């Protein structure tokens, strides 16, 4: 499961912006639940019914300790932070909820919603990856910049983002907790990408752990290699060179030779991954 941000919202937003979001007794207002609408930029796709019910029970016993944050939208209010509390308050049959009203742009609203969710402990690896992707796209960060700002390593960010390359059916399995992030990363190593859903199904049916899946992927990839092997076999030198290149570039590298010519194939998984490889080659994109 996700462990939240290393540095938190403060790493991305100036102090004065954060101070505007802190509760102040004379700034808190009671707002009718019927006047609230959910955040259209909410990155969280799944709200656990059991967790909402537990929060509703706590609200019945202790009330709402921390107000939600909203912004005015016509005659209604959009929830910026606190949709779980809003849902639980409705379930607890409350008619109003304490809230801080803030004047925020749509970009600020979206960014705060994403960051608030990233700080939670119960995000799935996919939800975490989608949050990183949104921040990269909306704030124009590179993976390296985002990693530094959030106190994460670049491989940590990259490994999550790579999960989004999986087929939708497999992404759903990870979101539901039926497959782990380790399973997802291992499935991405399958050479025949079209077989990923089939292999994922086999993992579920046979209850394969990650190590067992790694062995299966290795076997399947060897079969692919044998099927596509050319008349000229790779000699020991070529195999050793491939290994060196894979370690150098941190991705799959293949040297393919025929009688009169050959080529080197370097795999990349995103524009950012390509940029990383080009930096290693000391090249710049035009």
Q: Which residues are catalytic?
A: 83
CA distances from 151 to 6, 67, 124, 148 (A): 5, 28, 19, 5
Alpha carbon 92 to its chain centroid, in Å, reads 32
Among candidates 8, 21, 2, 86, which has minimal Cα distance to 47?
Answer: 86
**What does the DSSP 8-state code read for residue 113?**
H
- CA end-to-end span of the chain, whole Å? 39
Listed in sequence order, the DSSP H helices in the chain are 15-19, 49-62, 83-91, 106-118, 125-139, 143-150, 154-162, 168-175, 181-187, 196-206, 210-228, 236-249, 271-280
Instruction: Locate 64 and state its tokens.
Output: 């709402």
Helix, strand or coil, per DSSP, at residue 163:
helix
Contact (Cβ atoms closer than 8 angstroms) between residue 156 and residue 148: no
Contact (Cβ atoms closer than 8 angstroms) between residue 103 and residue 141: no
Instruction: Locate 228 and state its tokens.
Output: 């596509």
């Amino acid at each position: 499961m996700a462990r939240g941000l290393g540095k938190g919202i403060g790493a991305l937003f100036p102090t004065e912006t954060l101070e505007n979001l802190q509760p102040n007794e004379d700034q808190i207002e009671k707002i009718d639940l019927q006047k609230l609408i959910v955040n259209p930029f909410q990155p969280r796709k799944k709200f656990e019914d059991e967790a909402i019910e537990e929060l509703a029970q706590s609200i019945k016993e202790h009330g709402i300790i921390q107000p939600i944050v909203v912004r005015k939208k016509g005659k209604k209010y959009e929830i910026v932070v606190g949709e779980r509390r809003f849902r639980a308050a409705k379930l607890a049959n409350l008619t109003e909820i304490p809230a801080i009203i803030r004047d925020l742009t749509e970009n600020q609203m979206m960014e705060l919603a994403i960051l608030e969710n990233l700080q939670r402990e119960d995000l799935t690896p996919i939800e975490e990856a989608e949050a990183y992707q949104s921040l990269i796209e909306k704030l124009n960060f590179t993976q390296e910049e985002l990693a530094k700002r959030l106190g994460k390593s670049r491989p940590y960010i990259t490994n999550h983002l790579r999960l989004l390359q999986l087929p939708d059916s497999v992404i759903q399995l990870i979101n539901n907790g039926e497959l782990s992030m380790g399973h997802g990363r291992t499935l991405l190593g399958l050479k025949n990408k079209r077989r990923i859903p089939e292999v994922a199904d086999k993992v579920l049916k046979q209850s394969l752990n990650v190590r067992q899946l790694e062995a299966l992927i290795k076997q399947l990839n060897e079969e692919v290699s044998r099927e596509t092997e050319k008349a000229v076999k790779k000699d020991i030198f070529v195999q050793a060179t491939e290994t060196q290149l894979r370690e150098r570039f941190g991705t799959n590298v293949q040297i393919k030779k025929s009688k009169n010519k050959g080529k080197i194939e370097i795999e990349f998984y995103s524009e950012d991954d390509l940029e990383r490889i080009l930096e290693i080659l000391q090249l710049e994109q035009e």
